[in-house]
Structure 1
Amino acid sequence: MDSQFRRKYQRSQMAVVLSLAFALAGFSYNVWRMEVSESNNTTRTACFEILMNLSKLEQLVYAAHYDRDESEGNPRKGWVLVGLIADLSELTDTDVREETVNLKAAWSANWSNLATDRPAADNVVNAIDAVRNKIKVLLRSLN
């Protein structure tokens, strides 16, 4: 009777240990999955905000160059947008951050000539398109 009781006791201990191991594994996976999902949601939100601000910046470039509208094409508004885009890019990956640095450099080099110089406007628009393309690649890669 004593050996039969001991075997039952050992089996129940093994069942408890296995149950605890499965519970810990499930909990660990759930925590990891929630962290990945939250990170992806943060990145997606930042990317969508950047895309919206890129379109505003592009509209500003077109207003400055083609319409010669000093109000809608005001470079101070452009600096604010470029700064915001750079700040939001910190929530994305390195490729997007690098392209926003290039956008900021293109804006810095060309903002004063937007109204009169077609290559200046094209440089900024090309930099906007480069950021936009990197964001599309990043969004496709998220799980």
Structure 2
Amino acid sequence: MNGIVDNKLKLYQLTVIFSLLFSLMGFSYNVWRMEITEHNSNVRTASFEVLLELELAQLEQLVYAAHYDNDTELGNPRVGWVKVGLIEDLSSLTNDQVRLKAQNLTLVWSEQWQQMLESEAASMEITAKIDLVRAEIKRLLVSLN
């Protein structure tokens, strides 16, 4: 009789241990999944802020207004500095590739903003970097799971 009780007790203990391990694994996976989801959400939000709030498009418009229209109001370099700074700040919430492209955009902007009024090459170089940031953000958004 003791053997039957001991076997049932061992089976019960194994069931409890297995249930506990299974629930811990499930909880750990859930926490990990929530972390990934939150990270992806932050990346999406930052990316959409750059794309949808039209920071890149507004910067591109600013370059075109400055170069092609000689409009110092719409093509104001100080506004451009703000846009470039915001793009670089938001890129820190994305990934390394977008961050790198945004830093390159900032570098090119800092080197070319004074020539963008007169030089088509300067304005084209700035807009090429804007297009690279835009393309990298699109790649990042497609890659998110």
- TM-score normalized by the length of structure 2: 0.95
Question: By percentage of residues, which structure has more helix?
Answer: 1
Q: Tell me the C-alpha RMSD between the 2 structures.
A: 0.9
What is the SS of the residue equivalent to 1:71? coil
Aligned mates of 1:72, 1:29 — CA distance in 2: 51
Q: After the TM superposition, which residues 1-143 of structure 1 pair with which residues of structure 2 at under 5 Å, given as runs?
A: 1-51=1-51, 52-143=54-145
How far has the Cα of 1:114 moved from its partner?
1.5
Aligned mates of 2:133, 2:15 — CA distance in 1: 55
Give % identity: 52
- Where structure 2 has 5 or more consecutive residues not aligned to the other structure, the ranges are none
How far has the Cα of 1:15 moved from its partner?
0.7
Which contiguous aligned blocks of 4+ residues in structure 1 show a shift greater than 4 angstroms?
A: none
What is the SS of the residue equivalent to 1:68? coil
- Where structure 1 has 5 or more consecutive residues not aligned to the other structure, the ranges are none
How far has the Cα of 1:79 moved from its partner?
0.2
- TM-score normalized by the length of structure 1: 0.96
Aligned mates of 2:3, 2:105 — CA distance in 1: 77
Q: How many aligned positions are there?
A: 143
How far has the Cα of 1:60 moved from its partner?
0.8
